[in-house]
Amino acid sequence: MSRLVILGSTGSIGTQTLDVVRQHPELFQIEALAAGHNTERLAEQIEEFCPKRVVVADKAAADRLRSEVRQPVQVSYGEEALLEAAAGGDADYVVSAMVGSIGLKPTLAAIEAGRTIGLANKETLVTAGHIVTERLRACGVTMLPIDSEHSAIYQCLQGEARSSVAAITLTASGGSFRDRTRDELKGVTVEEALNHPNWSMGAKITIDSATMVNKGLEVIEAHWLFQMPYEQIKVLIHPESIIHSFVQFADTSVIAQLGLPDMRVPIQYALSYPDRLPLAAEQLDLAALGKLQFKEMDFARFPCLRMAYESGRAGGSMPTVFNAANEAAVARFLRGEIEFLHIETIIEQVLAKHQPQAEPGLEAILEIDAWARRQAEAVSF
């Protein structure tokens, strides 16, 4: 029996993680749940999964939740409580599925406490990859990828010598605007941007997918997860999201992982690794699909991917700035304050203003993250 903490339980990944738990009650038990403000959904999760403790973002949410739940559960709020939930209790596994670099500190707390990590929150590795990987090594903790591309690569690498890997390729759907020219991106609405062709995900990652920032974050995530130089990390457009990613080996062999776009597959793999469990989900039918398509990545069409590679290669504090500027810009777009194309302008301007630091510690990372957000908020159009 594995005892789980889910950070971000009310989100897209959180609820799908609970669906996996629902399918295997004999294997997984919920120790604690953490969420932001969606107390209605959290109350339902408490009723069904009986966690010992739950944490929400602030006092108002905690008060609301206390009035909504009938069964005994410890309800607390704020950062300290979040870190305690990530590290405390009898849990052995923490699913890191909050959105944004706010997930960094609780993920580090879980690592320090020796919990196995299932990582959906890619911003954690992008923001502080050098710190997270050093802490994983020092604490002897395993981190299993949940992000679909990284889970695919992880699966393709099983039993393979790292020295035989020539390159890894992350596939990209192209996002909500993949059939539009840059000219046609002027004036697109939030609603249009949130209409992902293949995946149903939270708002922030769906916008990231449309700007190709998501793939950029994933390139940096792959660099840290697989200790792979950027020259060996490639991106290919694959509109169907059936091949979740693939590895090319020295002997020219290619191993890919395929499946319908269903995040419960990589989530369950991360929870059950190294075993594979049955999952009540639709089967892939290649004959019914008939064909799969691929297209070279166009870096001029998607400048955010170019900026992500540049930030990743520069290293140090640059990926922190890339991520934080994007988070603030996406929030502004979702609030209706800026145009879609302003997201990339903001990232570019904030990156240009930054004085890079080579090996920032955690305090410096948090300050740089906050600085980049302030700069991104201040860009006017």
Ligand X SMILES: CC(=O)[C@@H](O)[C@H](O)COP(=O)(O)O
Ligand Y SMILES: NC(=O)C1=CN([C@@H]2O[C@H](COP(=O)(O)OP(=O)(O)OC[C@H]3O[C@@H](n4cnc5c(N)ncnc54)[C@H](OP(=O)(O)O)[C@@H]3O)[C@@H](O)[C@H]2O)C=CC1
Residues that bind Mn ion (CB under 5 A): 147-149
DSSP 3-state of 18 = helix
**Is 215 annotated in some ligand binding site?**
yes
In degrees and rounded to multiples of 5, residue 169 shows phi and psi of -125, 125
| Interaction of residue 172 with ligand X, rule CB under 6 A | yes
Q: What is the CB-side half-sphere exposure of residue 53 using CA atoms within 13 A?
A: 17
Which of ligand X, ligand Y, Mn ion, none binds 173 (CB below 5-8 Å, type-dependent)?
ligand X
279 CB-near residues (< 8 Å, 6+ apart): 20, 23, 264, 265, 268
**Is 200 annotated in some ligand binding site?**
no
Distance of closest approach, residue 159 Cβ to ligand Y, in angstroms: 25
Q: CA–CA separation, 59 vs 282, rounded Å?
A: 41
- Which listed residue (38, 39, 96, 214) binds ligand X by CB under 6 A? 214
**Is 241 annotated in some ligand binding site?**
no
Which residue, 89 or 145, is less far from ligand X as judged by CB?
Answer: 145
Q: What is the residue-wise DSSP string for 86-123?
A: HH-TT--EEEE--SSGGGHHHHHHHHHTT-EEEE--HH
DSSP 282: P
Window 125-164: residues binding ligand X (CB under 6 A):
147-149
Cα torsion through 291, 296, 301, 305, rounded to 10: 110
User: Is residue 175 within 8 Å of residue 207, measured between CB atoms?
Assistant: no
**Is 312 annotated in some ligand binding site?**
no
DSSP 3-state of 315 = coil
Q: CA–CA separation, 138 vs 160, rounded Å?
A: 24
Which of Mn ion, ligand Y, ligand X, none binds 12 (CB below 5-8 Å, type-dependent)?
ligand Y
Distance of closest approach, residue 276 Cβ to ligand Y, in angstroms: 20
| Interaction of residue 221 with ligand X, rule CB under 6 A | no
**Is 164 annotated in some ligand binding site?**
no
- Which residues of this chain interact with ligand Y, rule CB under 6 A? 8-14, 34-38, 57, 97-99, 102, 120-123, 147, 199, 201-202, 204-205, 263
Which of ligand X, ligand Y, Mn ion, none binds 215 (CB below 5-8 Å, type-dependent)?
ligand X
Which residue, 82 or 98, is less far from ligand X as judged by CB?
Answer: 98
Three-class HEC string of 197-252: CCCCCCHHHHHHHHHCHHHHHHHHHHHHHCCCCHHHEEEEECCCCCEEEEEEECCC
- Residue 170 belongs to what H/E stretch? strand 165-172
- Which listed residue (52, 53, 215, 354) binds ligand X by CB under 6 A? 215
Among candidate residues 72, 5, 11, the one with its CA nearest the CA of residue 42:
11
Distance of closest approach, residue 182 Cβ to ligand Y, in angstroms: 24
**Is 221 annotated in some ligand binding site?**
no
**Is 359 annotated in some ligand binding site?**
no
**Is 11 annotated in some ligand binding site?**
yes
- Which listed residue (39, 101, 155, 209) binds ligand X by CB under 6 A? 209
**Is 198 annotated in some ligand binding site?**
no
Distance of closest approach, residue 374 Cβ to ligand X, in angstroms: 27
Which letter, b or e, does each residue of 334-355 get, where b requires 16 or more Cβ atoms within 10 Å of its Cβ? beeebebbbbbebbbbbbeebe
Which of ligand Y, Mn ion, ligand X, none binds 99 (CB below 5-8 Å, type-dependent)?
ligand Y
DSSP 3-state of 255 = strand
Q: CA–CA separation, 183 vs 31, rounded Å?
A: 50
Distance of closest approach, residue 199 Cβ to ligand X, in angstroms: 5
| Interaction of residue 175 with ligand X, rule CB under 6 A | yes
Which of ligand Y, Mn ion, ligand X, none binds 257 (CB below 5-8 Å, type-dependent)?
none
By the criterion CB under 6 A, which residues form the site for ligand X? 147-149, 172-173, 175, 199, 205, 209, 214-215, 263
Annotated binding site for 1-deoxy-D-xylulose 5-phosphate: 122, 148-149, 173, 196, 209, 214-215, 218
Annotated binding site for NADPH: 10-13, 36, 38, 121, 123, 202
